[in-house]
Structure 1
Amino acid sequence: MNKVQLVVFDIAGTTVLDGGNVAIAFSQAMKEHGYTIDVEEVNPLMGYKKPVAIRMLLEKYEKDPSKITDKLIIDIHERFVVLMISYYKTGQGVEPLPGVDKVFSYLREKGVKIGLDTGFSKDIAQAILDRLGWQKEGKVNYVVASDEVPSGRPAPFMIQKMMGEAGISDPRQVVKIGDTEVDINEGLNAGCLFSIGVTTGAFTREELEKYHPTHIIDHMEELIPILESVN
């Protein structure tokens, strides 16, 4: 495989099973600070950098703008991080989604680099990687979290950071795949060859279609023929 040199995957809901735990933790952190927000309200924001998502919800639910302070956002996010790290270290159901290991093996055999990016902060991402052993076992080449770049998704900075580390200058040698609106727009904004939506996470096929991904898949192994088509 010469054309595609790097595939960038989202984590929760794309490569790692998300049984709703991320949205639940997010909702709980908001509730502990006085904001009762249904999980259904949280799901559409799952791909965003988490402090950005917190601000978006506060701007919707807090009637007094003067109360929406940086400190409040930091406090809510810090509680979310604690809940998420605890879950990813000890909770049940932290496992790769079906087909992910097979696709990773396929990409390694073809010499294609594997990247992960996420709306999580680095500490949460690291807890996931430690639990699954993906870095230790050399299954992934690059991991970039939203707090390592100027702006998270849908900005293209996480993809561009990985491209720089991989020595790739042409975004048409990169494929992005994720389960949310901002995953798709991240790939489109980066100019990737494909920006693929997957229905294993927060968004349904119908919801993903609104954002015009190049493809929508229901199972990770469907990625293989898409990549084969450009060889």
Structure 2
Amino acid sequence: MTDIRLAAFDMAGTTIDEHGDVYRALENCVTETGTPVDAADLQTWMGTDKVEAITQLLGLGGHAGDEATVAACFDRFRALLAEYYAVHPPVGLPGAEDALRTLGEAGVKVALTTGFSADVAGPLLDSLGWKVGEGELLDAVVTSDEVAAGRPYPYMIHRAMERTGVRSVAQVLVAGDTVVDAQAGAASGAAQVVGVLTGALTAEDFAGSGTTAVLGSVAEVPAHLGLG
């Protein structure tokens, strides 16, 4: 029996395979303004709130990043993402859905947190048939527009605790495929902060990020907790 009562997972690249389309949409919405995007900068800001990511990428590329440009880029990001998803619909990563069900059956609450806004995350989850509620796969979903600040701030994790009735961070596991996922987990005080290698990072890339473990994928989390 595990002491963990809440497992909070990132979405794209951690539990969901969206074929790298978030990266493409984020990069392209910025480069279409004539602003270059460095690959390392794109990776750094990938897991953050997408408005914040666009603002930072514009600035790093030498663009003033005024409010109107950021808003237009975000609208373009959503349009591009919908276009890409229509061609290559997202799917659950191998073993992810089974892992979430195993956790739920063991009494662990399952939450997803994401740098997406609610209007992007909702249709994505609907397309997978992943629902929130009693007897469903998920107990909570928290999007970046529901909190004061997204990753690396810990607020989405704390909101997931609030929604699932988990009182202590000593009972929380956080997992994600980016450094900011791990940084948010560490900032939250979560007992376990797991980096997973289903995104673009290697185990070495998580060094210094606050992880307590690095696993190949979310599919390994139940065994990591001694479940199933």
* TM-score, structure 2 normalization: 0.92
Q: In the TM superposition, what whole-angstrom CA distance separates every residue of 1:73-94 from its partner, at most 9, and x where no partner exists?
A: 1111111012223333x23251
Matching residue's letter, 2:67: D
Q: Aligned ranges for residues 25-174 of structure 1 at < 5 Å?
A: 25-39=25-39, 41-62=41-62, 67-88=64-85, 90-135=86-131, 138-174=136-172
Pick one of 203, 206, 215 that aligns with 1:205.
Answer: 203
Q: Aligned ranges for residues 8-27 of structure 1 at < 5 Å?
A: 8-27=8-27
SS in 2 for 1:176: strand
CA separation of 1:161 and 1:221: change in aligned 2, threshold 3 A: same
Could you tell me whether the CA contact under 8 Å between 1:54 and 1:77 is conserved in 2? Answer: yes
Moved over 4 A (4+): none
- Give distance in 2, aligned partners of 1:87 and 1:94: 10
Structure 1: which 5+ runs fail to align? none
Could you tell me whether the CA contact under 8 Å between 2:113 and 2:141 is conserved in 1? Answer: yes
SS in 2 for 1:228: coil
- Give distance in 1, aligned partners of 2:126 and 2:87: 13
Offset, 1:49 = 0.8
Offset, 1:37 = 2.2
* TM-score, structure 1 normalization: 0.91
- Give distance in 1, aligned partners of 2:18 and 2:203: 17
Identity of aligned residues (%): 35
CA separation of 1:20 and 1:38: change in aligned 2, threshold 3 A: farther
Structure 2: which 5+ runs fail to align? none
Could you tell me whether the CA contact under 8 Å between 2:186 and 2:210 is conserved in 1? Answer: no
- Give distance in 2, aligned partners of 1:13 and 1:76: 22
SS in 1 for 2:141: strand
CA separation of 1:39 and 1:126: change in aligned 2, threshold 3 A: farther
- Give distance in 2, aligned partners of 1:156 and 1:207: 20
Q: What is the aligned-residue RMSD (CA, Å)?
A: 1.8
Aligned length: 225
Could you tell me whether the CA contact under 8 Å between 2:36 and 2:61 is conserved in 1? Answer: no
Q: In the TM superposition, what whole-angstrom CA distance separates every residue of 1:34-91 from its partner, at most 9, and x where no partner exists?
A: 213255541221111111111211221126xxx3211111111111012223333x23
